[in-house]
Structure 1
Amino acid sequence: MIAAIGANIVYAIYPKIPLAFYEIGAGVLLSLVPIFNNFHIEPEVFMLIIIAPLMFNDGQSTDFHTLKKHFNSTLSLAVVLALVTILVGGLLTHAIWSVLPLTLCFALAAIVTPTDAVAVSSITTNIDVPEHVMGSLENESLFNDASGIVALDLALTAFTTGKFSLSQGIEHFVVVFFGGIIVGIILGMAIVFIRILFQRRALDTIAVILPFNLLTPFIVYLAAEHLHLSGILAVVAAGLVHGIQQSRLRLTSTQTQVVTKTTWEVVANLLNGFVFVLLGASGPSVWNDLSASEAAHLPILVIIAVSLYLLMGLLRFLWCMLNLVTLAGRETRLKDAFILSLSGVHGTITLAMAFSLPLVVAGQAFPYRSAIILVAGMIILLSLIIPTLILPIVLPTKQAAFTPEEFSDQMVRMVNFAIEQLRHTGQNTAALPAVIEVLNGQKNESKKNADSRLVHQLLEQAEQAEHVAVNELIENGELQPQIGWQYNRAAMFQTQFAFLSPWARVKMWVRLVEFRLFPHRARNHYQKKVQRSREAKQAWLKEHGYLDRHQHHENPEHPANVNHHQQREIQLAKITGAQLPANQSPRQSRERPTFQQRRELRRQTRNRQLSEENRAAFTKAGNAGYNGVISFLDSIETDDNRQEVDVVRHYYNVRHQRFNLTESTSDAENELFIMAFQFEYSYVQTAGKQEHLSDELIAELHKKISMDQLVYMQNGN
């Protein structure tokens, strides 16, 4: 599983090579680990744990109406063509290598006959395969697995007993084939009935339905195999029944269906990856298991693998050209026949059947077992490599209906539209910032492109807006000066510390220790820093047209006209009772707090054991400062600085929640979220008409909104 996950990571980084090749390569690397040097897996366990759930998922993901419409074509490919391929392939193998018993030649042909639609999808991710051809491949792979398994069982029975009757063989094939389908339908309907009963009795919770659904393929497979019927066909039939039931109950237990569908996607991806990893990991073991006589016939084994692969492709091509199968109700064309023959990729079932060969027969080692597995592995590799090289030449590259950039752009515009509409409603202003913060998460924008210089300038202005709001509480007698100064000091330090790099934070701590030991250095450093900050700020305000806004205050003590050092002197003066002369800045004042007063002030600010009254006052200051910052950011936000404003807003939202200052506004937030999602749907509808968006892009936007709405309701409630 670790190897399969690693292959998925590499594929996400470099998707030009099909995922199956990464998984096979991961298996080869895994074989170098000592514990996997001689790796073998029990065939029965492999069929039960890997193949049964994969086939069940394929069945429940299949469109039953399409399958029913083209059932004759599917039966022709999956049964008739499969049996013809086994007969001709077995005779060809025996003609090339007469040493191999004829029954084992048929067994080899039965092993390599089944196709794998998942493997086809893996190598055609970026190729535009015609839908009718791909549909035929998917329907064929549902049933030709059973044809190969039943034929393999007959061949092995004939080999072990030395007897074979054509009439009995046909009878056995019919019973096992159709008996498995009937058992799967019956058990599938029974399990569906139980699920419906759970729903009627309000027991359809995820904790019940999801494990019940995951256990279904194992139960059905074991029951069918116990009756000596096709377990593979049974789980496919049960999966089809479940697919029909899900399509009829699409709006029943929506959350359960979404979770179940997502879980099956993850399980199927990992299990398919496990199969190809096993192929790579088992290669060295199979090679080591080759006896001296089998290794000597290696050139013949390669010839057999190539001949069988070419034979299967030729038979598929002729089958289509002779109109023995109709692709989606259309007359078969030469190109379609060529694509269908080339896309007969082998994978999961072929490997499983190869490893299902018994190790011992009649007390002796099964002859030519490693040789048969080696030929099957080579055919799997050929069926993966050749289409990967040829199909991109024959078929065009898949053209996406929209690019990721177009989707991202529409998402940003949609969310911004919803936010603007919420602001215009004027409702629930206390809950609005938190709602905007969550909605901005829909954009999934990268903050790396934000202008760091502008972010820091906005932080300075936001910090001033916060101080203004807190100072107004102090001036109005609603907040004690000590609490207000303590809050401003803590907020100022956190803001500066939050936007530093890790190395800069270390340097800052070292500087703080230095200033604690040598106060005169701190005073000189701070004076220079204040002067540089004042000059840089004035230059930026003048450049961006904000200078007039910050110069209209006549009061020299107004926080918009003083720096942090001056603000601290104002607060010290108010705390200690010192008076500032009229029309004189704090730095011009000769009345300064004494050393004992300053020490007492520091002692008060270090005291973290606040009383309940002071804690409430601190919360009040925090809420006022936070609301002041959000109001300021809303007032200056434009299309040009929206990303930088979002960065600053996100910081203040996170800090506000960390201080546990967020008020309980769940009902108001729910109301705003419902309105926001409606605004997003309205935007998509309007933009789709005005900008002529593609149907696929509109559907993807609707899907995004629906999933976000579902996730919010799950997390919020």
Structure 2
Amino acid sequence: MLVVVIIANVLYRHYSKFPLPIYLIVFGIGLAIFPLFRNFTLDPSLFILAVIAPLLYNEAQSASRYWIGRGAINIFSLSIILVVVTVLLVGTLLHGIFNFIPLVLTLVLCAIVTPTDATAVSTLIPKSDEYKIPQIIMQNESLFNDASGIVIFDLALTVFVTGTFSVNHALSIFIIQFVGGLLLGAIIGLVVRSVLRLLIGLSDDTPFIMVSIELIVPFLVYFIGEELQLSGILAVVAAGLVQGSERDNLGLVSSRMQLVRANVWEIVEEALSGIVFVLLGVSLPMIITQIMAQQATLIWVLILVGITLYVTKFIFRLIWTRYLVWMHRKSDHRWTDSWLMAFGGVSGTISLSLAFLLPETINGHPFVYRPMLIFIVAIVILISIIFASIFLPKITRGDQPDNQQDPEIWLHRMFVAGIHEIRDDQEFPAEASIVVDTISQQLPHRQLRNPRLQRKILFEADNAERKAVKHLYEQQKISSDELHDYIRFLDLSLLTVSGTIWHNLFLRIKFGIHISRRRELGVGQSMWLTSPLISEQLYWQHVFELNGKNIHPIESVGFDAAMKAIEPFRKHKTSQELHAVQRFYRERHRRMNLPKPSNSAIYQLFLRAFHAEYEFFQQAMLSGELPAEIAEQLQQHIVYDEMAYLQKRSSFMD
């Protein structure tokens, strides 16, 4: 399932016309073909612990405490009052229209679909100041209505199982679980925060220790909350909020740990969220089969139930967000904000997780309504995602970024600025070549490399080099032996570049044996772990030296001819393939003709390149051309590049 999540994310990055959850569900349906997944079930008692708890904890950590404080009224209105009203009114209406579903189960159904998925919405709405407030309101709402929906879900399901209901009892349980869960989570969060501060004070804040503790917290908090008959989910949310405030207070303290933590949680969140939708896809065929076994025409009725549930919930949400939500500041498009928040009420990961929490058996008997309820939830999720993906971009269309605000265009320009800074360095040409090649590999490309085109450029350069070397022979500047050996060198190099892995392995062995016979044994042994291209270059330099000749002047002429021959390809859209060929020739020329690179010089040139990149985006921001969001992305790239270089400085000496 994790492999499927990865594949779906890759496809979505290249073909984003369909929302990511659609890809995940479709791939999940594909997995259902295999015998392992045909009757796949996940223990509901573990699902909320393993999936929902860490997702909500991370969501709470990332929430803005400032906006939660300012939006407390909206949070209470949307996350508690609207949830309760929607469950009671829409649930009753749904039961009145489709009375074959018991009233308690329609309430359960509404409790399942009321939690909203702010993460799914954020991928559909571009960041903008114009719609910043509605997006913040939806993010804060989703944090707390998840917990409200889960508490009501538990209460309604308990009523269905026991068959008894008391308003006072239900209200008291709701308050105890809600308030008690928040207090418990806050207390545990404060304890964990104290432990983390102590570790930082003792300089024991290594990423392994700190991040491992954080990964344990949501499971521990949820388990304790449930054991004390409180809301484990609300406890997790409260603990996440406390820990998030501590993260804000850290500033630049334990910066490496904070960076690792952010990356780890990003991976955990995307993996768990993706697996939930894959689970829906895996379960759908089995659920549909179970429904069809009860009554063939029931499937169409359930689709109608899902549509009705979504439409009525949508209308309630639209009216509520228009008249009972405070927008913090005056808006010139108040109805547009409400339509945005109505379509933004997407049912997603939490709703799907709650649907899977429905028990398979009740009082020892199969729960026959379970497949129907999960199917209805799936219909609501699909409709909400599809409608959001269609209408949200249209609502915010006037604020869509133009091409000048495309992050990839700015990335390309920033990397080029760094390359231009050190490309023509005369003092350290070998080191400059290494830095230029390293940075040029980062240039963003919108399509896959074309191997056929790359070979065409390579052959063009190779032919030009052969002609230049033969011209040297015709001018009697080199001997026939030198011409023969150099042409043989070019043949083997070309064959290695375009050869198979088995051919390269053979060359590796051949060169290793040959050089170990003629030179030091240690040099020969090192060839086993050296690229065949590098081995060939060392080998033919050695051959020329044995014959009292010098390969360096010949290689310089060939290099200049090859680079000049492929220069016209710059006029065409072949940058990716051209850079690959240019990098091959520059690396060869550096190894065979330039002095051995200095590690300190490489370090200085990288610093100059990074500084030039910093200056580029700073100037672009000062001029007003570069939006702040894209500037943050550019700065992150530079920071990550610097860290990557520092972690593997020795590898740039190859």
Do they superpose with TM above 0.5? yes
2:389 is aligned with 1:456: no
Deviation (angstroms), 1:634? 9.2
User: Would the aligned equivalents of 1:455 and 1:645 in 2 still touch at CA under 8 Å?
Assistant: no
Deviation at 1:296, TM superposition (A): 6.0
Distance 1:108 1:404, change over 3 A: closer
* Structure-1 residue corresponding to 2:510: none
Does the C-alpha gap of structure 1 residues 351 and 217 become closer, same or farther in structure 2, counting only changes over 3 Å?
A: same
- The one-letter amino acid paired with 1:388 is S
Task: Indicate the residue corresponding to 2:260 in structure 1.
Answer: 259
User: Relative to structure 2, which stretch is displaced further, 46-55 or 403-412?
Assistant: 403-412
**Whole-Å Cα distance in 2 between the matches of residues 680 and 466 of structure 1?**
42
TM-score using structure 2 length: 0.79
Instruction: Tell me which of 601, 611, 618 is aligned to 1:678.
Output: 611
- Structure 1 residue 457: Cα displacement: 5.9
* Distance change in 2, residues 1:294/1:693 (3 Å): same
Q: What is the rounded CA distance, in whole Å, between the counterparts of 2:636 and 2:556 in structure 1?
A: 31
CA distance in 2, matches of 1:710, 1:15: 31
Partner of 1:84: 85
Structure 1 residues 714 and 82: CA distance shift in structure 2, 3 A: same
CA–CA distance in structure 2, aligned partners of residues 68 and 105 of structure 1: 34
Find the counterpart in structure 1 of residue 60 from structure 2.
59
Mapped pair 1:165 → 2:128: no
Query: Is the partner of 2:405 in helix, strand or coil?
Result: coil
Matched, 1:368 2:331: no
Letter in 2 for 1:407: W
Instruction: Measure how far apart 1:225 and its partner are.
Output: 1.7
Matched, 1:439 2:439: yes
Tell me which residue corresponds to 1:279: 280
Q: Specify the code of the residue in structure 1 equivalent to 2:255.
A: T
Q: Which residue of 1 aligns with 2:244?
A: 243
Q: Distance in 2 between matches of 1:690 and 1:288?
A: 61
Mapped contact 2:277–2:349 kept (Cα < 8 A): yes
Percent identity, aligned pairs only, is 32
Q: Does structure 1 conserve the Cα–Cα contact (< 8 Å) formed by 2:468 and 2:557? A: no
Point out the more displaced range, 206-215 or 683-692.
683-692
- Displacement of 1:655 in angstroms is 5.2
2:378 counterpart SS class:
helix
User: Relative to 1, partners in 2 of residues 1:229 and 1:612: Cα closer, same or farther, differing over 3 Å?
Assistant: same
Q: Distance in 2 between matches of 1:113 and 1:6?
A: 30
Partner of 1:24, secondary structure, is helix
Q: How far off is 1:276 after superposition?
A: 1.4
Task: Give the SS at the match of 1:114.
Answer: coil
Show CA shifts across 1:657-704 (max 9, x none): 999x99573333223322332233234445666795554554443332
Partner of 2:230: 229
Cα distance in structure 2, aligned partners of 1:48 and 1:466: 75
- Aligned-residue offset at 1:80: 0.6
Asked if the contact 2:468/2:561 (under 8 Å) is kept, the reply is no
Q: 1:18 to 1:646 in 2, by over 3 A?
A: closer
User: Which residue of 591, 602, 610 corresponds with 2:518?
Assistant: 610
Distance 1:169 1:492, change over 3 A: same
| Pairing of 1:9-20 with structure 2 (within 5 A) | 9-20=10-21
Is residue 2:360 matched to residue 1:359? yes
Is residue 703 of structure 1 aligned with residue 636 of structure 2? yes
User: Does the 8 Å CA contact 2:408/2:444 hold for their aligned counterparts?
Assistant: no
Selected match of 2:401 from 392, 399, 402 = 399
- 1:418 partnered with 2:424: no
1:652 deviates by 5.1
Q: 1: distance between equivalents of 2:231 and 2:337?
A: 32
- Aligned twin of 1:668: 601
What secondary structure is seen at the aligned counterpart in 1 of 2:168?
helix
Cα offset for 1:180? 1.6
Displacement after TM superposition at 1:654 (Å): 5.0
SS in structure 2 of the partner of residue 702 of structure 1: helix
Q: Contact 1:633/1:649 (CA < 8 Å) preserved in 2? A: no
Name which of structure 1's ranges 121-130 and 162-171 shifts more when overlaid on structure 2. Answer: 121-130
Give the distance between the partners of 2:293 and 2:627, measured in 1 at CA: 63
Amino acid at match of 2:599: S
Greater displacement, 615-624 / 217-226: 615-624
Find out whether 1:308 has 2:299 as its counterpart.
no
d(CA) in 2 for partners of 1:169 and 1:614? 79
User: What is the CA–CA distance in structure 2 between the aligned matches of 1:715 and 1:407, rounded to whole Å?
Assistant: 26
Structure 1 residue 298: Cα displacement: 4.6
Deviation at 1:653, TM superposition (A): 6.0
The answer to whether the 8 A contact 1:411-1:443 is kept is: no
Deviates further, 70-79 or 100-109: 100-109
> Quick one: structure 1 residues 614 and 708, their matched pair in 2 at CA, closer, same or farther if it must change by over 3 Å?
closer
Distance across 2 between alignment mates of 1:615 and 1:160: 76
Report the CA distance between 1:4 and its aligned residue: 1.9
Is residue 59–residue 236 contact of structure 1 (8 Å, CA) maintained in 2? yes
**Secondary structure of the corresponding residue to residue 518 of structure 2:** coil
Deviations 1:86-125 (A, max 9, x none): 1112211321233443323322221222221223235557
Alignment CA distance shift 1:108-1:671 (3 Å)? same
| Equivalent residue runs for 1:109-258 within 5 Å | 109-124=110-125, 130-258=131-259
Amino acid in the other structure paired with 1:225:
E
Q: Which residue of 2 aligns with 1:326?
A: 326
8 Å contact from structure 1 (residues 128, 396) kept in 2: no
Amino acid aligned to 2:199:
F
The C-alpha deviation readout for 1:469-511, integer Å capped at 9, x for no partner, is xx99xxxxxxxxx9x99996875454343455779x99xx9xx
Cα pair 1:417 1:683 within 8 Å, conserved: no
Q: Secondary structure at the match of 2:358?
A: coil
* Equivalent residue runs for 1:231-630 within 5 Å: 231-290=232-291, 297-298=298-299, 300-322=301-323, 324-330=324-330, 333-396=334-397, 398-400=400-402, 402-403=405-406, 406-420=409-423, 423=425, 426=427, 428=428, 431-444=431-444, 451-452=457-458, 455-456=461-462, 459=465, 491-498=489-496, 608-612=516-520
Give the letter aligned to residue 603 of structure 2. Answer: N
Pick the structure with greater CA Rg.
Answer: 1
- Report the Cα distance in structure 2 between the residues aligned to 1:61 and 1:26, rounded to whole angstroms: 29
Q: CA deviation at 1:404?
A: 5.4
State the partner residue of 1:568: none
The unaligned stretches of length 5 or more in structure 2 are: 508-512, 525-536
Q: Give a deviation string over 1:533-580, Cα, whole Å, max 9, x none.
A: xxxxxxxxxxxxxxxxxxxxxxxxxxxxxxxxxxxxxxxxxxxxxxxx
Change (3 A) 1:141 1:419: same
Is the Cα contact below 8 Å between 2:9 and 2:20 reproduced in 1?
Answer: yes
Q: Give the match's secondary structure for 1:316.
A: helix
Amino acid at match of 1:89: V
1:259-286 C-alpha deviation (Å, 9 max, x unpaired): 3212222222222111111112211222
The residue type equivalent to 2:641 in the other structure is D
The 1:688/1:40 distance shift into structure 2, 3 A limit, reads closer
Take 1:96 and 1:688, find their aligned partners in 2: how far apart are those partners? 57
- 1:696/1:116 CA distance change after superposition, 3 Å: closer
SS in 1 for 2:329: coil
Check the 8 A contact 2:116/2:347 in 1, yes or no: yes
Q: Please identify, of 634-643 and 215-224, the stretch whose mean Cα deviation from structure 2 is larger.
A: 634-643
Q: Which amino acid aligns with 2:71?
A: H
- Aligned partners of 2:133 and 2:328 also within 8 Å: yes
Give the aligned CA root-mean-square deviation in angstroms: 4.3
From the superposition, tell whether residues 105 and 685 of structure 1 become closer, same or farther in structure 2 (CA, over 3 Å).
closer
Structure 1 residue 142, shift from structure 2 partner: 0.7
Which residue is 1:529 aligned to?
none
> Could you tell me which residue of structure 2 aligns to residue 716 of structure 1?
649
Partner-residue secondary structure (3-state), 1:609: helix
Q: Distance in 2 between matches of 1:458 and 1:691?
A: 46
Give the gaps of 5 or more residues in structure 1: 473-481, 510-604
